[in-house]
Structure 1
Amino acid sequence: MRTDSRLSRVLHALIHLKQAEGPLTSEALGEMLGTNAVVVRRLFGGLRDSGLVASEKGHGGGWALAQPLEKITLLDVYRAVGEPPLFSDLVSEDHPECLVEQAVNAHLSATLRDAEAVMLARFEKLTLAMLMRGVKLPVLRGKASRKRS
C-alpha cells in the first residue's frame, strides 16, 4: 500500500516558498517535489482556500505565502490538504464474525484514536518556523533547480 505523503510534500514546498525571491510557479514546485504541476495546483488550491498561500496569474505569477511561517501550524496545513491518514490501516476485517478479531480491532482502534489525538495536539503547537530553526537554505530564484532538496 502506498503511503500518503501530501503533508510532508506540502510542508517542504511551503518552507521553500519562504526562501523564494518571488512567487514560484506550479511547474517549478512540481519539479522540486518530483510531481506534476497539476498535482501542485490541486494541493495548493486547498492551501489557498485556507488562506495559507496566494496565487498570482500571468507573467511573473505563481504561488506565494499569504502568512508568515510563524503563524502557520502543522495543523493548519494538515487540514488544508484534506486531513490525510496519519497511520496505516492496522485494523483487519478479514473475519468480522471472529471474536478475537473484534477484540483486537477494538483495542487497536482505540489506541490509534488516542495516538491521533496526541499527534494533532502537537501539530497545533508546531509552526513551520519551528521546523526551520537552524536550517539555512539558499534563496530560490523563481525556477526550482533540477536537484531536489
Structure 2
Amino acid sequence: MRNDSRLSRMLHVLLHMGRRNQPFTSEQIAKMLDTNPVVVRRTMAGLRRAGYVRSEKGHGGGWTIACDLKEVTLLDVHNAVGGPKLFAIGHENGNPSCGVARVVNTALGDVLSQAEALIIGKLSAISLADLANEFDAICQSECRGINTSLHSKQQSKSVRHSH
C-alpha cells in the first residue's frame, strides 16, 4: 500500500512559501515535489479554501502564503488537504453477528481510537512556525559547522605556508 504524502508535501511547500516574498507557480511547486501541476492545483485548492494560501492568475501570479505560520497547525493542514483517515486498518464488518468478530472489532476500535486521539493531539500541538524555527536552527548549526570547517582549512593552509 502506498503512503499518502499530501501532508508532508504541503508542509514542505508552505514552509518554502513562508520564506519567500514572491509567488510560486503550480509548475514550480510541481517541479519541487516531482509531480504534476494539476495535482498541485487540486491539493492547493484545499489550502486556499482554508485560507492558508491565496492564488493570483496571470503574469507574475501564483501561490502565496496567506496565514500566520504561528496560527496553523499540522492538523489544520492535514484537514485542509483532505487528509485520509489516519489508519488504513479496521474491521471487516461493523455489525457482526459472530461473537468473536464483535470482540475483535471492540479491541481494534479501542486501540485505533486511542492511537488516533494521540496523533491528533500531537499534530494539533505543532505549528508551521515551530517547523520553520526548527529548520532555522538546523541551518544555523550546519552553516556554523561549514564556516568552522572552512576556517580550520584556511588556518591549516596558512600554517603550512608560514613554515
- TM-score between both structures, scaled by the size of structure 1: 0.81
Of 58-67 and 120-129, deviating more is 120-129
Q: Percent identity?
A: 48
Q: Is the 8 A contact 2:6 2:83 kept in 1?
A: no
Aligned partners of 2:5, 2:55: CA distance in 1, in Å?
A: 23
Aligned CA-pair RMSD: 1.8
* Residue identity in the other structure for 1:108: L
Give the match for residue 5 of structure 1.
Answer: 5
Shift of 1:58: 0.7
Q: Number of aligned residue pairs: give it.
A: 135
Q: How does 1:118-133 map to 2 (within 5 A)?
A: 118-133=118-133
Q: Secondary structure at the match of 2:86?
A: coil
| Residue 111 (structure 2) aligns with | 111
By relative contact order (CA 8 Å, sep 6+), the higher-ranking structure is 1
Supply the distance in 1 between the matched residues of 2:86 and 2:131 (Cα, whole angstroms): 18
The equivalent of 1:101 in structure 2 is 101
Runs of 4+ in 1 over 4 A off after TM superposition: none
Question: What displacement does 1:11 show?
Answer: 0.9
Q: Looking at CA atoms only, which structure, 1 or 2, has the larger radius of gyration?
A: 2
TM-score by length of 2: 0.74
Any idea what SS the aligned residue of 1:86 has? coil
Unaligned stretches of 5+ in structure 2?
Answer: 140-163
Unaligned runs of 5+ in 1: 138-149
Higher helix fraction (1 or 2): 2
Distance 2:115 2:77 in 1: 19
Match of 2:53 in 1: 53
